[in-house]
Amino acid sequence: RQYFLYWKSWHDELLNFLSESMNHKKQLDCIREATKNLQQLLPLLRQDKQKKLDDYISQMIELESSIANDAAGGRIAQNRLAAERLRMNILRDFSYNKIKPL
């Protein structure tokens, strides 16, 4: 639960920085921390859930790359939409009641 809460708070902060701030360094810090917390959650899940979470981690890494290559902020709306979609999907598939211990 702790890693999930850490991921959620970093992801929420990312969305905040993608909407109201052009602090590129902070955007990258947020996406990296959010991804790191999902990666730490991975070994704690059953194998079927690990595969699904691994797909989301790959999408987070792609989003990080997109943010890193957008220092001018021309794709900020697309990056925010991708981040919102990822957040919604992860919350849907990994809510507390859907996750069972190993």
The CA distance from 88 to 56, in Å, is: 11
**Whole-number mean pLDDT of the chain?**
89
pTM across the whole model: 0.87
Assign 85 a pLDDT band (cuts: 50, 70, 90). very high
Taking only the tens place, the pLDDT of each residue in 45-65 is 889 889 999 999 999 999 999
Say whether pLDDT at 21 is over 80: no
Say whether pLDDT at 98 is over 90: no
- Element housing 88 (H / E): helix 76-93
Instruction: State residue 19's pLDDT score.
Output: 83
